[in-house]
Amino acid sequence: MTNESQLEELEVLASIYEGDPNFKQIKDDTSQYKLGVEGDKSTVLIEVQWPPEYPEVVPIFNLGAFYNNHLSSGAKSALLTALNDEAEQNVGMQQTFTMIEWAKENYDALITPHLSEDVLPSRIESMSLGENKGNEETAKVKVKKEQLSKSQKRREWDRVDNKGERPRGYDWVDVVKHLSQTGGRPDWGDSQQQTSLPDSYLSPANLPS
């Protein structure tokens, strides 16, 4: 709940910053001001909140907005410390305008020494790990194993003996079929010394059932 002094300051701020796109009144007791050029690495959004006792106590300064995620913790800490130290000197007075103008003049010098610091290294590392994991999963190719039907499995099983081996002469049918199609005998070596299959090998008794 705003007190009489705070209501008066609200009117003053609305009059001073009318038309300024960098100023925004979030609530009666909370305002924001954006410092720097949009997209610049040193830009910062300062939030000023009035406690119920304000202006008899210092306002609360907050840099936790998502807009400030590019700043390191060191940069935020340096700016907050300086803001609080300056505000202590103005206790008892309406100081939001004074603090915003002070921040405009001094924030860059406070933040610049910390711009080379790493920002959220653990978050960046976790994102990199997540990307690598995704790439590995994408690289995996799923190989589909050929599935045999029940009848195909049964035929394969019928072709082996009790030791799991195929009997001698299981492929003679293919040899006979080949000879019947080509009208010749297989060449087992020198073309001058051809050896024919024994007639007993071609008898129906030796063919697999």
Structure tokens at 14: 């609305």
Q: What is the pTM of this model?
A: 0.56
The answer to whether residue 177 sits within a structural domain is: no
Instruction: Give pLDDT tens digits for 68-118.
Output: 998 889 989 999 999 999 999 999 999 999 999 999 999 888 888 887 765
**What is the structure's pLDDT at 152?**
67
The answer to whether residue 160 sits within a structural domain is: no
DSSP string, 129-179: HHHHHHHHHHH--PPPPPPPPHHHHHHHHHTS-TTS-PPTTTTHHHHHHHH
The answer to whether residue 81 sits within a structural domain is: yes
Number of domains forming the structure of the chain: 1
Structure tokens at 49: 């909140």
The answer to whether residue 92 sits within a structural domain is: yes
Q: List phi, psi (to 5°) of 187.
A: -90, 110
The answer to whether residue 202 sits within a structural domain is: no
Query: Measured between alpha carbons, how far is 48 from 60 in angstroms, rounded to an integer?
Result: 6
Its domain, for residue 86, covers: 4-114
The order of strands in the sheet holding 60-62 is: 23-27, 30-35, 44-49, 60-62
Name the DSSP class of 197.
P
Q: What is the CATH number of the domain that holds 36?
A: 3.10.110.10
The answer to whether residue 105 sits within a structural domain is: yes
Instruction: Give pLDDT tens digits for 146-194.
Output: 566 667 666 665 665 555 555 665 555 555 566 666 665 555 554 444 4
The answer to whether residue 38 sits within a structural domain is: yes
